Amino acid sequence: MATQRGGHSSHHGGGSHSGGGGSHSNAHQGNGHHVYGRPRLNQHSLTFRHKQPIDRGVFQPLPRPTGPSPYRLDLSNVIPADQYQDITNQQRLIFHTAGDLGGIKNPVPQERVAQGLEEDFLPSPSDQSLNPAFFYALGDCVYFNGQAVDYYDQFYLPYEHYTAPILAVPGNHDGDAIAPETSLAAFVRNFCQPEPGYHSPDARDDTRTAMIQPNVFWTLTTPLISIVGLYSNVPEHGVIHPDQQDWLNSELANLPSDKPLIITMHHPAYSADDHHSGSATMHAAVNAAIEVSGRFPDLVLAGHVHNYQRFTRVTNDRDILYVVAGAGGYHNLHQVARVNGDRVTTPVTLMEDGDQVTLEKYLDDRHSFLRLEVTPTEIVGKCYSVPRPQESWSQGASLFDTFRFDLVNHKAL
């Protein structure tokens, strides 16, 4: 039984949805061999996860790591020493995140997000911990297939004036194998160099050098938090290779217990959109790691769905925040599913495998990015929307949503 607070009544659907699981309704089948458009998802009830994933995309073998196991990179290796010292001294870490960046058909939304990111920096801060230390991309950095030829237009040029490192987990569009390169070859060349200072040929005349992530799944260690990044591969709703699951289990068990934990991935465990919906595969991967390690993440970040959604999951008498931040620049936004034709009024609470999951807030008609500030006691998240392509560039980004997470009591505030 599911309830909705302050909105329309809804319930968690069964294994077959009107808009598509693994086996679609015949409503979109034509006469003979014709196949027409597929209906939108979840038109009569709201669900946060698929029971039957859509079969789209082919699993691609993982590339070889470029660093030693357990594939950790410390923040001190990618930012200036004085900035790292300020973060440590002030006990404050700020960073940006968003997914689904590439402006392949219309570059303006990505340019608007990049402008908002740039304008979020103070020109002369009293200490450098007041500025974002890095941007963390949640996959689909380059559309449509992560081709090397598109890295300049979709990655290097839009962030030419972003004055901090850019880190990433790859998305399904980054991982397709496109001749003459194998899966993720361009991503590895631009994000996973074994040593700093490499200027990728894909960057052309841009001065940004390639990042030094040790693998396509990897952990960023910082003075205040550990960020564990999963690569969820190409198939729709994700696939986690057994080696990755073992690594995730081990990271949760062995990372410092006195620091909070963020997990990042491309395919979200929860989503209420009408195009993809959430991934049972990714939900199971996180749950398996929790069960084996006995360690809970405080925040799970994902992209893939081109909008902003914030969920609170209640499990084992504690909260976990799940945030979809996939409106980072790709032109086509995804709507949150309408229930009987009406926009959903938040908060909306459903029951998922015995856990209470609440959609707290969403933004599905503007592009956006997330700013996160971590201290020893809390995470403060701020979602900023940016002007639409037809609106004035002078408007700047606008604060849409603010949330807080108590790291001491593990509760969303």
Select the CATH number that applies to the domain covering 69-412 from these four: 3.30.470.10, 3.40.50.720, 3.60.21.10, 3.30.499.10.
3.60.21.10
* pTM for this predicted structure: 0.90
- Nearest one of 52, 60, 97 to 279, comparing CA atoms: 52
Q: What is the overall mean pLDDT for the chain?
A: 90
User: Which whole number is the average pLDDT over 213-224?
Assistant: 98
Inform me whether the pLDDT recorded for 52 exceeds 70. no
Q: For the chain, which residues make up each domain, given as ranges? A: 69-412
**Angle between helix 280-293 and 242-254 (nearest 10):** 40
Inform me whether the pLDDT recorded for 23 exceeds 80. no
What's the CA gap between 45 and 19, in Å, rounded? Answer: 11
pLDDT band at 43 (very low <50, low <70, confident <90, very high): low
The partner residues of 323 in beta bridges, in order of sequence, read: 301, 310
pLDDT band at 27 (very low <50, low <70, confident <90, very high): very low
**What pLDDT sits at residue 1?**
35
pLDDT band at 40 (very low <50, low <70, confident <90, very high): low
Residue-wise pLDDT for 165-203, tens only, equals 999 999 999 998 887 899 999 999 999 999 999 999 999
